[in-house]
Structure 1
């Protein structure tokens, strides 16, 4: 009998044990969410059942983190009892999207600038071999790829001075300056898997990010790991393309680490356009205490790609897959190995004051055999950025002050040789190069009323270039030459007014500048153009945003006045040279509209969304005369007046999905005289597949897609003002790809 009473007592004790019961639902439809992975602060993770419910033993209050693919990660503290958690689908509407632009985490509706957000969903709509297609769905943004891994970014027409590479645009990766102090950015060292999402600030924003009239691109790696995850991807495609990725992420206490290795290869559409890239990334996040966090990043990249070169119209008509004559024989290509390491420390002094400081180091080994020469560079760079954030009140109204500074320096041994059949011959000239840039920044955001936000910002900038010529086979002068640019003060003023919780307007006046890069001052044939001036610009902008329910609307109009515009031309030897070309007038309109026709987690068609993005760039040379040629009033070279992108996305209950994209690009002037244009074209891409998760632990996806479905003949990046009419860099014709992804959560 005693044993029976004991058994009953234990059973009652077990049943009555305190529990935390949680039900997880979709925030919009209130339907239960199955297979949500829930991680308690202490103990093992669980997944929700078909009713969206799970339970934990309740010894004390603790933090729970909720993770489900396609939904925003959510964390909250719960104690004994029953609780309901609402998860929001990612990128629902503008009123719920938070961005970190201008060092201030605010909803997009409260940001007083034109900002484009490129999300994971945007990346996964295409083949994921590059960032090109996803960025090009955003108004005012255009990334060109003249050959695989040869990128050029144009934000509001800023690529006019970039015959190759990324210039006049500042790039940050995980809040670390990824743009070198000489003004260039090796964006092709990153694989798309190294980027979770991106924020593109359009137009000059030097008040807090330094030099760059084009804008700023903030790239962010995958988020801090939740639990453990092992993943693998594999993809193949036309033109010999193969890509595979291996990744692991592991939560460790309140921090964790994530690592990935990616290999991507292709033979290329054209002759001499093969590409081979391996990228390894290791990142760590560590919570030292309630007040301190540390984040580390290591990126090792090994990139080799060939350069087919530009063709003239007759060569394109004859065979668009051919390389420029001489490119194959001279092995025109780039080989680049780089290591990038950073350390970020965040310290919270109090509820009002916080500091974030980041230091970085990088090395770069660069070789570039070209038709006319053979360039070798070995470089080392370092720098850092620090900011203090104060949240308080002024006259009883909320006030946020951000202040800090950034400094970068690089040292490069640069040698130019003759090119004998792809092998470095005798040295022609050799230099030791140093580039330095730095600035202090201050920004104040003041909520004058609950609806009115004022922003005042200012930065003080300095930069310099040093070229110490060691060897000059032509007999030119040796020794050190220096160009120090005058300190430049860059102000910004902006205002944002919210009509209600889902709509508002903003206006801003911002000044910007962009000094010449070292590649523009020091050209491939050995001359030095130290008289090249920095571009100066001022931008006026107004915008309206609305995000409510199923509809998003984002409208912007701007006027940008640029002086001392840097443009390109090519001499008879084929060397790209640079010059200041008077001023430009740049008037533009940008519009993005998205609408969810269907959003129902209980129906067969779970999501059906459409969207369109329009860019109107009406840019002209205001004052531009070269010799006897007056190009004033001509359209700005390399800029399409109109582009229109339309999207359709479908997702079903069975896991099948379809992403369809159409892009129209207007004709593009290819020379300053406006006598040669690239014809307008229509580019259609589609991706379809099946994706499901099983038992909250397995994720599986199979997909296939087609690029350039209409088989258009076009160039995704032309050469501007080239010698010999070599304007065209033909892009791939219709091509297919397919692949699989698998992940295991533990």
Structure 2
């Protein structure tokens, strides 16, 4: 009887034993107050001001721990006892954002350069069909899309020499050079799902990344596999927009495999602007040992899009949706299939010494009927990059030494035909193109004191191209042309000075160069311009970064002066073919500024976060020395660059999961010719998105969303033709349009 009474007395203790959780900041170890813990039954427990949660559960349970300023995580809560759980900050301040620019992982606060970061969450503030709007929220960066998938990128005015495509900017994807050896970048191959985070260096970074005065864009996918998951997205929009994606993550012992397939199509706002793209990415992530990480990637893209061509002012007023006369009849379009195979290896040789090596092979089939001709190309290329890092000391001074090299080779069979009703006609010329580029780089980072970090970098650059013209129907004789550029040495010196733990000044002097691309040397009308010289420039920059009020307020600003010699500019002949020339020098003075602040950040309130962001770019760029025949354009504003750009953003996130993203962008008048007689008028562009994100238990993630682009129905061009023949400047962008979609993720 006594044993029975004792059992009855102890039973409630065993069934209703308490569990105490202590939630702490992973970095500082400080308590995280008011974190929310939620189980399958959706009952929520909230930590007190000391980060302590006390709860009573019958059995061990998987639960979701979240906080507005930290990354959410799954935790296994025992049925009794005490447990300390650490949470990783959600990078709400500049002191917490770590970037790997200049091949060195350091907090953004310590980086002595103009660097912009586009997080995955910023890509998903818009319709998820392209990176255009997200990139255009960053000061000094402008991405143009004259037709769906027809991109042009300008970093501090670097698109001056890009009538089409991405030039003068070096692009990397998961550590491999995505910019080909010939200087072109197939950015439109990528679906947004192939990109999770992006770092952008504004201005020349040749000391460690080689050619490209505009800067460097580094795209990164999340290669790790942390759970078994299947997810799918589906969205629809005006002008025939449709996109869907399906992805599977499968864990394996010490690694895993990811497979993602995305398809996107649209009819386009204008006539003859249809687009269709399929992208498949397969990623393998493995850890052969504690010191090694091995990743393999296969990326296949099949892209087709139509080219409507630019309109005159009169045609734009008559009907902005029309295509340039002849574009549809000649089937002006791009049809491109490309495949990348990538192998990357990270090796921590010892605690102080590590290596990162990536190699790739790439094949491209390219077909481009245009109003004036028909181009076919088949390209095979390969290359790689290897970087060694040593962390040690030089006497009492901690140093980081970085050294390595990069090599790229491409072989292209290129043929140009006449265009008869959209079909390839008689061959005009046929070339075999060989392009090689390589460079070595060295960098030392010295921590002169707790406050001062000095960086010295240097690269030695080599490039050449070889053109064998096997068929020449114009001149009647085969020929060869070869150009080997003189080796170019590119230095950089930079200094970062901490004013306090959350604020720093930075200054840098960096050189850059950019040889002409193969498309600029070998133009569509058949000439080979061996006289084009490489652009060379030097950039002076001074900046400030700071975070205040525990990361609620962040400021990032800089002023710069960039001098560019042998500037490559474009002009158009009477047949409408774009040609290139060196045009003297440019002076580019600018100021760029970003501030964001959280008016509300409260885990317990209905509105958990209300955040405002403002950016400003003032680009005062002029031709310093530019003669065109008898015309002296010296002192004119640089073609294609808006002197002022302002962006305002409002983000609201609520406890039930509803959110609102609002974006306003002002773009000033843009000169469209070197004479500064034709301008794109200033415009205001407003975009908005709202939706709900939530979970159903521990296994299912859901999101539904809807949005509107060009809310004010502004008349504008998201990219214009510069210095065109016949006054065809304008590529009208879409009027007000709507979209919506759903995302589902299931853990298994």
Same fold (TM > 0.5): yes
* Structure 1 match to 2:386: 386
| Partner SS for 2:33 | coil
1:355-383 residue CA offsets vs partner (Å, 9 max, x unmatched)? 11111011000000000110000001100
- Partner of residue 653 from structure 2, selected from 647, 651, 654: 651
* Inter-CA distance 54–197: structure 2 relative to 1 (3 Å threshold): farther
Give the match for residue 60 of structure 2: none
Whole-Å Cα distance in 2 between the matches of residues 580 and 87 of structure 1?
A: 55
Q: Deviations over 1:485-535 (max 9, x none)?
A: 100000000000001110000000000000000000000011000110000
**Correspondence 1:426 to 2:421:** no
1:579 to 2:595 alignment:
no
Q: Within 5 A, what are the aligned runs for 1:6-155? A: 23-24=22-23, 30-35=33-38, 50=45, 71-72=70-71, 82-155=82-155
Gaps spanning 5+ residues in structure 2: where?
48-52, 56-62
CA contact (8 A) 1:29 1:600 kept: no
Secondary structure in structure 2 of the residue aligned to 1:272: coil
Compute the displacement of 1:627 (Å): 1.0
Per-residue deviation, 1:347: 1.2
1:637 CA displacement: 0.2
Q: Which residue of 2 aligns with 1:178?
A: 178
1:676 match: 678
Aligned to 2:416: 416
Q: CA deviation at 1:687?
A: 0.4
Question: Which of 683, 704, 707 is residue 705 of structure 1 equivalent to?
Answer: 707
Structure-2 residue corresponding to 1:461: 461
Partner of residue 619, structure 2: 617
**Are the equivalent residues in 2 in contact too, given 1:132–1:143 (CA < 8 A)?**
yes
Relative to structure 2, which stretch is displaced further, 548-557 or 537-546? 548-557
Please state how far the C-alpha of 1:454 moved relative to its aligned partner.
Answer: 0.4
CA contact (8 A) 1:25 1:33 kept: no
Match of 2:59 in 1: none
Please say if residues 22 and 31 of structure 2, whose CA atoms lie closer than 8 Å, have aligned partners that are also in contact: no
Residue 522 (structure 1) aligns with? 522
Q: Distance in 1 between matches of 2:75 and 2:694?
A: 27
* Cα distance, 1:477 vs structure 2: 3.9
- Aligned ranges 1:476-625 → 2 under 5 Å: 476-548=476-548, 549=550, 550-625=552-627
CA shift at 1:254, angstroms? 3.0
Residue 351 of structure 2 corresponds to residue 351 of structure 1? yes
User: Matches of 1:261 and 1:111 in 2, distance apart?
Assistant: 36
Q: Deviations over 1:566-616 (max 9, x none)?
A: 000000000000000000000000000000000011100011000111000
SS in 2 for 1:95: coil
Query: Per-residue CA shift, 1:163-209, capped at 9, x if unaligned?
Result: 00000000000111100011110000000110001000000000000
Q: Which residue in 1 is equivalent to 2:50? A: none
- TM-score normalised per structure 2: 0.93
Q: Does 1:159 pair with 2:159?
A: yes
- Cα deviation for residue 220 of structure 1 reads 0.5
Q: Kindly tell me: are residues 285 and 67 of structure 1, through their superposed partners in 2, closer, same or farther at Cα, counting changes over 3 Å?
A: farther
Deviations 1:295-319 (A, max 9, x none): 1111110000000000000000000
CA distance in 2, matches of 1:475, 1:676: 37
Distance in 2 between residues matched to 1:241 and 1:475, nearest whole Å:
46
Specify whether residues 73 and 364 from structure 1 end up closer, same or farther in structure 2 by C-alpha distance, changes over 3 A only. farther
Counterpart contact for 1:25–1:32, Cα < 8 Å? no
Cα distance, 1:54–1:247 mapped onto 2, change above 3 Å: farther
* CA deviation after TM superposition for structure 1 residue 83, in Å: 3.7
Counterparts of 1:47 and 1:624, CA distance in 2: 68
Count of aligned positions:
730
Cα distance in 2 for partners of 1:325, 1:229 equals: 49
Match of 2:274 in 1: 274
Distance 1:693 1:23, change over 3 A: farther
Tell me the distance in 2 between the aligned counterparts of 1:11 and 1:357. 61
| Cα distance in 1 for residues equivalent to 2:408 and 2:54 | 51
Q: 1:410 to 1:285 in 2, by over 3 A?
A: same
Q: 1:47 to 1:207 in 2, by over 3 A?
A: farther
- Note the residue ranges of structure 1 that are not aligned, 5 or more in a row: 38-45, 56-63
Q: In structure 1, what is the Cα distance between the partners aligned to 2:103 and 2:739?
A: 39
Residues 269-321 of structure 1: per-residue CA shift (max 9 Å, x gap): 00000000000111121000011110111111000000000000000000000
Distance 2:635 2:248 in 1: 55
| Partner residue of 1:742 out of 731, 741, 744 | 744
Distance in 2, matches of 1:391 and 1:20, equals 43
String of CA shifts for 1:314-347, please: whole Å, max 9, x gaps: 0000000000000000000000000011000111
Distance 1:148 1:431, change over 3 A: same
1:696, CA displacement in angstroms?
2.2
Change (3 A) 1:485 1:67: farther
String of CA shifts for 1:123-153, please: whole Å, max 9, x gaps. 1110010000000000000000010000000
Instruction: Give the CA deviation at 1:88.
Output: 4.2
Residues 69 and 242 of structure 1, relative CA distance in 2, 3 Å threshold: farther
C-alpha spacing 1:457/1:72, structure 2 compared with 1 (3 Å): farther
1-side partners of 2:43 and 2:437: how far apart?
52
Say whether the 8 Å CA contact 1:310–1:728 is kept in structure 2.
yes
Looking at structure 2, the residues matched to 83 and 162 of structure 1 have their Cα atoms a distance apart, in angstroms, of 58
Task: Name the structure 2 match of 1:374.
Answer: 374
In 2, are the aligned partners of 1:202 and 1:215 still within 8 Å (CA)? yes
- Tell me the residue number matched to 2:693: 691
Q: For the structure 1 residues 54 and 720, does the alpha-carbon distance in structure 2 shift closer, same or farther, using more than 3 Å as the test? A: farther
Q: How does 1:204-215 map to 2 (within 5 A)?
A: 204-215=204-215
Q: Which runs of 4+ in 1 moved over 4 A?
A: 19-29, 46-49, 51-55, 64-71, 73-81
- Encode CA deviations 1:432-464: one digit per residue, 9 max, x unaligned: 011110000001000000110000000000001
Q: For 1:655 and 1:24, how far apart are their aligned partners in 2? A: 22
SS of 1:691's partner is: strand
Task: Give the 3 Å change call, closer, same or farther, for CA 71–478 of structure 1 in structure 2.
Answer: farther
SS at match of 2:487: strand
1:42 corresponds to which residue? none
CA distance in 1, matches of 2:702, 2:687: 23
Q: Give the equivalent residue in structure 1 for 2:58.
A: none
Root-mean-square deviation (CA, aligned residues, Å) is: 3.0
Match of 1:359, SS state, is strand
- State the alpha-carbon separation in 1 of the partners of residues 626 and 716 from structure 2: 29
> What are the Cα deviations for residues 369-425 of structure 1, in whole angstroms up to 9, with x where unaligned?
000110000001100000100000112221100100000000010000111101111
**CA apart distance, 1:85:** 2.7
How far apart, in 1, do the equivalents of 2:187 and 2:353 lie?
A: 34
Seen in structure 2, the aligned counterparts of structure 1 residues 68 and 228 have a Cα distance that, compared at 3 Å, is farther
Measured in 1, the distance between the counterparts of 2:358 and 2:137 equals: 32
- Judge conservation of contact 1:495–1:506 (CA < 8 Å) in 2: yes
Native 8 Å contact 1:29 1:601 kept in 2: no
Distance 1:578 1:36, change over 3 A: farther
TM-score (norm 1): 0.93
* Aligned mates of 1:595, 1:475 — CA distance in 2: 64
3-state secondary structure, aligned to 2:733: coil
Q: Secondary structure at the match of 1:349?
A: strand
